[in-house]
Chain A
Amino acid sequence: MNEYFRKYKNLMMLTVFIGATIIALIPLFGVLGYVVKNGLSALNLQFFVNLPKAMGLPGGGMANAIAGTLIMVLIASALGIPIGILAAIYLTEYDRHSWLSTGVRFATDVLTGIPSIIVGIVIYTAVVLRMGNFSALAGGLSLAVIMIPLIIRSTEEMLKLVSHSIREAGFALGISKAKTILKIVLPTAAKGIITGAMLAVARVAGETAPLLFTALGNQYWSRSLNEPTASLPVQIFQYATSPYKEWHQLAWAGSLVLILMVITLNLVARYAFRSRSI
């Protein structure tokens, strides 16, 4: 047991840790690299402006799927972000300890872990079957259901980071509780709340399973929100499982666009709002 043995042991363990890290990075860069390699060659202007074309015709694109994904993510955000943030404000500021808030908190924890296909089936049964058709509304709704617990949790954590003494300082100035929350607590936590919301948006943008049952997919432009609507993930799924080589190419291009969208959202969330003033 001398100094050399200790140094040798140190070196060995260090090698093991570095090795494990490299192995963990292989799938990440493997996936990224593979998608970029296959996707780039199929990506061109036509991909962004054209509709899918019949088998054999060149120049098909996924314009409708890109628009569909954007529309459904927008619907989901319009529903999910306000509901999630308002519910989190209620849970942290008004009712931290009752059975209701304990129940809601438990439910959000369970919901964040639930496989998204189950959300899809529930919306299919509750909305699609009742309305009689697949639609962007149902798709957006299912994405909102996945988003809400994520946003409640992240907003709650951010609000909890705001020190209680800040709230007391507001009350002690004769500022009402509502105004203290709205004008003092929320602005203090704003950057973190926005970051959490953007990460939730990025997360649902790539969801496939819930959209299969709700928005279904469409080879053409949808004329209203109440029609089956194409989305990138579903289109990728359909093209990738088809027997045609051209469609496989388009699926790769779609994957690349989807990944770029998610990465962009992630980067914006992480860097644009990095300096938290808490």
Chain B
Amino acid sequence: MGQTLSVRQLEAWYGSNKTLKGINMEVASNHVTAIIGPSGCGKSTFVRCINRMHETMPGTKVKGEIILDGKSIYDQDPVALRKMVGMVFQKPNPFPSMSIYENVVAGVRLNGMRNKQNLQGIAEKSLRMAALWDEVKDRLNYSGMSLSGGQQQRLCIARALAVEPSVLLMDEPASALDPIATTHIEELVRQLKEDYTILIVTHNMQQAARIADSTAFFLNGELVEHGATSEIFTNPNDKRTEDYITGRFG
């Protein structure tokens, strides 16, 4: 099951550059929440704060709180937290030295699971959830790099799902893919919200409109507006949201 997230007064810095200026936001469980906004508005930084990847870069700083399942994520060990909060990146990044199968089970295997049957079960289940099983079931031992870009991205999604997180963060997961592969990913996201809370950063407003239950508009490190997707796109409260979605800037 997905979990709710509450973000309180979140601020983040890259060096002296403040990229998030006090974000307050509630993320509903088993919803797809899209984060939209122009480049540099802090949307990637925002999702990278949720699994504490932001802090791994040198010279960064975070303030504020994020509550996941009733507990502050900053009171938890980041390595343990990341098992609950999965992430899919902009560019597909399968592990080059591993086969398709090894890629999918990397998270559980490197964290100590040895039982071969369990691992195979997890691999099949995760690949099925990522709608990739039928395409790769006969070549699980091939390198992950042998797949097409769209397949690689679904492999990365399967890899993230194998750890059984409750929240899935997707940082522009389809921006490096062609339209057909993008459609695959979008369908997948719609199905996955049954089991996960999904936050998806996207540059593509049509994509947000197609897949997201709610949409948040970020601008210059601030959350301008957050509401049901239909509201945001047809009847935004804020003038800046309207300007952005009608293409007047960004």
Contacts of A163 in B (CB 8 A): 93
Contacts of A187 in B (CB 8 A): 97-98
Decide if A172 touches B51 in the complex (CB within 8 Å): yes
Decide if B58 touches A188 in the complex (CB within 8 Å): no
* Interchain nearest-CB distance for A172 vs B (Å): 4
Decide if B95 touches A166 in the complex (CB within 8 Å): yes
* Interchain nearest-CB distance for B9 vs A (Å): 25
Give complex CA distance A168, B86 in Å.
12
Mark each residue of chain A from 62 to 105: 1 if its CB lies under 8 Å from any CB of chain B, else 0. Answer: 00000000000000000000000000000000000100000000
Say yes or no: is A171 at the interface (Cβ < 8 Å to chain B).
Answer: yes
With A168-B89, A175-B107 given, can you name 13 additional A-B contacts, CB distance below 8 Å? A165-B89, A172-B89, A173-B82, A173-B110, A173-B163, A174-B163, A175-B110, A179-B110, A180-B110, A277-B96, A277-B97, A277-B145, A278-B96
Total contacts A-B at CB 8 Å? 74
Task: Say which residue of B56, B111, B160 sits within 8 Å of A171 (CB atoms).
Answer: B56
Mark each residue of chain B from 71 to 91: 1 if its CB lies under 8 Å from any CB of chain A, else 0. Answer: 000000001111100110101
Say yes or no: is B24 at the interface (Cβ < 8 Å to chain A).
Answer: no
Say yes or no: is B159 at the interface (Cβ < 8 Å to chain A).
Answer: yes
Q: How many residues on B have C-beta within 8 angstroms of the other chain's C-beta atoms?
A: 29
Give complex CA distance A184, B56 in Å.
17
* Interchain nearest-CB distance for A165 vs B (Å): 4
Interface of B: prevailing SS: mixed
Contacts of B107 in A (CB 8 A): 173-175
Say yes or no: is A169 at the interface (Cβ < 8 Å to chain B).
Answer: yes
Chain B residue at minimum C-beta to C-beta distance from A183: B110
* Interchain nearest-CB distance for A155 vs B (Å): 16
Say yes or no: is A238 at the interface (Cβ < 8 Å to chain B).
Answer: no
Q: In B127-167, which residues have CB < 8 Å from any A CB?
A: 143, 145, 156, 159-160, 163
Q: In B27-85, which residues have CB < 8 Å from any A CB?
A: 51, 53, 56, 58, 79-83
Decide if B79 touches A176 in the complex (CB within 8 Å): yes
Decide if B97 touches A173 in the complex (CB within 8 Å): no
Give complex CA distance A277, B96 in Å.
6
Say yes or no: is B232 at the interface (Cβ < 8 Å to chain A).
Answer: no
Contacts of A183 in B (CB 8 A): 110
Q: How many residues on A have C-beta within 8 angstroms of the other chain's C-beta atoms?
A: 22
Say yes or no: is B211 at the interface (Cβ < 8 Å to chain A).
Answer: no
Say yes or no: is A190 at the interface (Cβ < 8 Å to chain B).
Answer: yes
Say yes or no: is B208 at the interface (Cβ < 8 Å to chain A).
Answer: no
Give complex CA distance A179, B94 in Å.
16
Say yes or no: is B185 at the interface (Cβ < 8 Å to chain A).
Answer: no
Decide if A166 touches B53 in the complex (CB within 8 Å): no
* Interchain nearest-CB distance for A178 vs B (Å): 10
* Interchain nearest-CB distance for A177 vs B (Å): 8
Contacts of A188 in B (CB 8 A): 95-97
Chain B residue at minimum C-beta to C-beta distance from A175: B110
Decide if B93 touches A175 in the complex (CB within 8 Å): no
Most buried by B among A171, A173, A175, A179: A173
Decide if B95 touches A174 in the complex (CB within 8 Å): no
Say yes or no: is B106 at the interface (Cβ < 8 Å to chain A).
Answer: yes
**6 contacts across the A-B interface (CB closer than 8 A):** A172-B82, A172-B160, A173-B82, A173-B160, A179-B110, A277-B97
* Interchain nearest-CB distance for B180 vs A (Å): 24
* Interchain nearest-CB distance for B14 vs A (Å): 15
Decide if A169 touches B96 in the complex (CB within 8 Å): no
Decide if B93 touches A184 in the complex (CB within 8 Å): no
* Interchain nearest-CB distance for A45 vs B (Å): 44
* Interchain nearest-CB distance for B201 vs A (Å): 14
Chain B residue at minimum C-beta to C-beta distance from A163: B93
Chain A residue at minimum C-beta to C-beta distance from B156: A169
Give complex CA distance A175, B94 in Å.
15
Q: In B109-123, which residues have CB < 8 Å from any A CB?
A: 110-111
Give complex CA distance A188, B145 in Å.
12
* Interchain nearest-CB distance for B122 vs A (Å): 13
Decide if B89 touches A169 in the complex (CB within 8 Å): yes
Query: 3 tightest A-B contacts by CB?
Result: A174-B83, A173-B107, A187-B97
Query: Known contacts A179-B110, A183-B110: does B93 contact A173 (CB below 8 Å)?
Result: no
Decide if B86 touches A173 in the complex (CB within 8 Å): yes
Give complex CA distance A170, B103 in Å.
10
Give complex CA distance A170, B107 in Å.
8
